[in-house]
Structure 1
Amino acid sequence: MGKVLSGLDMFHIAEVLIDTKDELKFSAPEELPGAVNMKIDPKSEQEVFYADNVAYATVNSLGDIDGDMEVADLPLDMQSRIFGKQVEKGIHFSSADDKTLEIALGFRAKLSTGGYRYYWVLKGTPELVPVEHKTDEGKATPQTAQVKIKFMPLTNVKDGKRRWDAKAEEGNGVNAETWFKQVVYNADSFASSENDTVVDVGK
């Protein structure tokens, strides 16, 4: 029987602290409650090479990686941290000088055969959150926060190996507690227990 994915929960966000050719470092992940929807749309650019008067080979290259995240709410404190807003006496101010963080995003989806499939998308820059509200028409209408994120491969070629995502299914040490403990960008970055036992994920 094939596997069917359903549901979505456990959004986690971490800051990309350093991503250079020689060094890679993330902050500790922080959970963002209220996951509603997540879409990751990597664009593949395809080039056909012709030889001997026929299509001889097809070369694929990675293009844009578009992400759409929807949550019940993106708290003001988290918005200020992600988008570099200034907070004065509890008031959150936006300015033309704000600097948006690069973030990694983790989440999971339920498998019909039991357990979950886990994800990390490793580096993305969110767009500012639009403000859209609607008057209640006889009953309260829930209004969610929708964030567009432009993802890209890591710059790091030593540890991150220019990767842009990691996936694993539950088992062999992979579960909610271990997967979201850190951003998983290679096998050595994943610790499945307090003794830092490493399982083979992220390849």
Structure 2
Amino acid sequence: MATKKNKVKFGLNKVHFAMCHTDDDGNTTFDTPVRVPGAVSLSVTPSGEAENFYADNRVYYVINNNAGYEGDLELALLSLEFRQQVLGELLDQKGVLTEKNDAALAQFALLFEFDGDVNHIRHVLYCCTASRTSVEGETNTDTKTPKTETCSFTAAALDNGLVKCRTCESTDSTVYENWYKAVYVPTFAASEGA
């Protein structure tokens, strides 16, 4: 990848999700990422704060309380695949999408990128769960303004401690080019998490 550094970032693009599967031993695998068209905006904020432990009349130790992230993904329209796989909605034989109160929340990785002045910055949040979207609309007037759908989600750590990754100017070109073909998992994750 280019060694020139971005000065700014703008423009959300290429939002994907990949279903996450964790076995009884804590090993996680991901399905192939699926594109979610119509990305309008994404807002992700850290959850959990560092806590100070005081002793000897000073901050003696700082406790890292990384509880992942909370976010909102605004889309032109939530895709059928996302509704079925992530939100657990069911499509019956007549082609009607149904929400049931006992639908299990599925875990998924969320992949996306921001444009930069030199390089696009690609991200992955590893262990996400999403909430249902609101339903809203309004009558047409002299102009038609599309109504968007917003999906709130949380991004927690996998069993091995991974929360998120992102590309930078030193990212290997093969990793960068294959970002949306398979969920990237760093090779040091198991040893670093111990």
TM-score by length of 1: 0.81
Residue pair 1:122, 1:185 contacting (<8 A) in 2 also:
no
Taking the aligned partners of 1:72 and 1:176, their CA distance within structure 2 comes to: 27
**Corresponding residue for residue 102 of structure 1:** 107
**Corresponding residue for residue 13 of structure 1:** 17
Equivalent residue for 1:59, pick from 39, 60, 63: 63
Taking the aligned partners of 2:83 and 2:52, their CA distance within structure 1 comes to: 43
**Corresponding residue for residue 46 of structure 1:** 50
Residue pair 2:175, 2:184 contacting (<8 A) in 1 also:
no
Taking the aligned partners of 1:149 and 1:32, their CA distance within structure 2 comes to: 15
Higher strand share: 1
RMSD over aligned CA atoms reads 2.2
SS in 1 for 2:50: strand
**1:173-184 equivalent positions in 2, closer than 5 A:** 173=173, 177-184=177-184
Taking the aligned partners of 1:25 and 1:125, their CA distance within structure 2 comes to: 16
- Give 1:81 deviation, angstroms: 2.4
Matched, 1:167 2:162: no
CA displacement, residues 121-166 of structure 1 (integer Å, 9 cap, x when unaligned):
00111001111112222210111110000110002xxxxx311101
**Corresponding residue for residue 138 of structure 2:** 134
Matched, 1:76 2:80: yes
Taking the aligned partners of 1:165 and 1:90, their CA distance within structure 2 comes to: 36
173 and 188 in structure 1: CA distance in 2 versus 1, 3 angstrom threshold: farther
Structure 1: runs of 5 or more not aligned:
156-160, 190-203
More deviation, 59-68/144-153:
59-68
Structure 2: runs of 5 or more not aligned:
190-194
**Corresponding residue for residue 193 of structure 1:** none
91 and 6 in structure 1: CA distance in 2 versus 1, 3 angstrom threshold: same
86 and 176 in structure 1: CA distance in 2 versus 1, 3 angstrom threshold: same
28 and 77 in structure 1: CA distance in 2 versus 1, 3 angstrom threshold: closer
149 and 135 in structure 1: CA distance in 2 versus 1, 3 angstrom threshold: same
Taking the aligned partners of 1:2 and 1:120, their CA distance within structure 2 comes to: 19
- Give 1:39 deviation, angstroms: 1.4
Matched, 1:87 2:86: no
Residue pair 2:128, 2:155 contacting (<8 A) in 1 also:
yes
Taking the aligned partners of 1:11 and 1:58, their CA distance within structure 2 comes to: 35
Residue pair 1:84, 1:98 contacting (<8 A) in 2 also:
yes
Residue pair 1:165, 1:185 contacting (<8 A) in 2 also:
no
- Give 1:175 deviation, angstroms: 6.9
**Corresponding residue for residue 37 of structure 2:** 33
